[in-house]
Amino acid sequence: MARVNEHYLKLTASYLFSEIARRVKAFQAAHPGAKIIRLGIGDVTQPLPPAVIAALHAAVDEMGRAATFRGYGPEPGYEFLAELIARHDYASRGVTVATDEIFVSDGAKSDTGNIQEIFAADCVIALTDPVYPVYLDSNVMAGRAGDAGADGRYDRVVYLPCVAENGFEPPLPERPVDLVYLCFPNNPTGAVLSRAALRRWVDWAREHGAVLLYDAAYEAYIRDTDVPHSIYEIEGARAVAIEFRSFSKTAGFTGTRCAFTVVPREVQGRDAAGAPVSLNALWLRRQSTKFNGVPYVVQRGAAAVYTDEGQKQVRALVDHYMDNARVIRDGLEAAGLRVYGGRNAPYIWVKTPPGLSSWDFFDKLLGEAHVVGTPGAGFGPSGEGYFRLTAFGQRGETQEAVERIKRRLAL
């Protein structure tokens, strides 16, 4: 019998969503008449923008004619899309990114999960806590995390607690680390990093020879004009940062699949002898070997996001979800809860009432308001005492959920 990769057996995180599903199912079975509203989902609910739909149709027609048919595409993506990304997402903010530094992919999940492959097995990683679980789990699978202790922490991972007391801003690591995963606007806390805070990270990484893995999947939700959308808005970041972006939460591509990762030419790792190695070259090699590229049709759909119409429609989508965020924030504050996030992010991070753990609050909300959210403890030990709601629900359901919480849970 083939021996398995035993690092997989050290994974603990899948417990969260299966446990939520189990509790919801048990509640529904006991209360068949209850209308449960799910505000725990991280998936969008609005349809694709019309400009994207038109582009997808046109691209499908191209595939049906011999003269315009496309087979295998370039693994890092078509130049037409990379050029639009470079111009609209970067040059418009005064940032220079070349098209051969942009790698179009099928998701920020895949890229943030796969990027660790180009680093050594003994690299030390640091993560914010709470965290989007993919960063941690992909390193557990690779054997880089060590073993989980009784407190849920892996012994080779450096955890950077993000809690109300530090404004959900990760502290700089106190011991040497090689890779740091940062996600801003943050899932799950909804926090953003100011320009000064991001500069501290870039300066620290330059000084310590670390690489920052910067997940900006939610940058379109930033409202404050002084919050950076890209880490490359910070001087010197090109030498130390890889940035991940996605069309998922911006243009509704969660089921259509398109994202991209920027690996600047300056950012380097080193080999065993200490000689510098281009991470751009390694990532190109990795993607060319293991990834087939995003379908032509889908890349045409993503390109339509950058048309005038597409930009307007995407802004309307984001505005729609941010209105949901406001409804949730205002409602929960009116119910006497302490609420964070939801101003520059589609996530609302709620402090659970005194004496209630994340799971206690989950049970209370489900039992009394028939609303499902996500217990903060599921995102890491420092998420205990918090609870995540998302702004991605249908408007009517979001309003109803908030009214129920106000009626049943007013403190």
CB-based closest residue to ligand PLP: 107
Q: Which is nearer to ligand PLP, 186 or 313 (CB)?
A: 186
Q: Which is nearer to ligand PLP, 42 or 152 (CB)?
A: 42
Q: Is 219 in the site for ligand PLP (CB under 6 A)?
A: no
| From candidates 28, 46, 254, 307, binder to ligand PLP by CB under 6 A | 254
Q: Is 215 in the site for ligand PLP (CB under 6 A)?
A: yes
What residues contact 231, with CB distance under 8 A and at least 6 apart? Answer: 182, 198, 202, 212, 214, 216, 237, 241, 243
Q: Which is nearer to ligand PLP, 59 or 183 (CB)?
A: 183
Q: What is the dihedral of CA 390, 394, 397, 400, to 10 degrees?
A: 80
Place of tokens 């500069």: 199
Contact positions with ligand PLP (CB under 6 A) in 122-181: 132
| From candidates 114, 138, 139, 187, binder to ligand PLP by CB under 6 A | 187
Least spacing, CB of residue 253 vs ligand PLP, in Å: 7
Q: Is 372 in the site for ligand PLP (CB under 6 A)?
A: no
Q: Is 259 in the site for ligand PLP (CB under 6 A)?
A: yes
Which is it for the CA torsion 123, 128, 129, 131, positive or negative?
negative
Angle among Cα 113, 116, 122 to the nearest 5 degrees reads 140
- Distances in whole angstroms, Cα of residue 236 to Cα of each of 42, 176, 267: 33, 20, 10
Q: Pick the piece of the chain touching ligand PLP (CB under 6 A) from 66-74, 108-116, 222-230, 389-397.
A: 108-116
Contact positions with ligand PLP (CB under 6 A) in 24-43: 42
Q: Which is nearer to ligand PLP, 132 or 361 (CB)?
A: 132
Give the rounded distance of the alpha carbon of 3 from its chain centre.
Answer: 33
Q: Which is nearer to ligand PLP, 246 or 313 (CB)?
A: 246
Q: Is 109 in the site for ligand PLP (CB under 6 A)?
A: yes
Contact positions vs ligand PLP (CB under 6 A): 42, 107-109, 112, 132, 183, 187, 215, 217, 246, 248, 254, 259
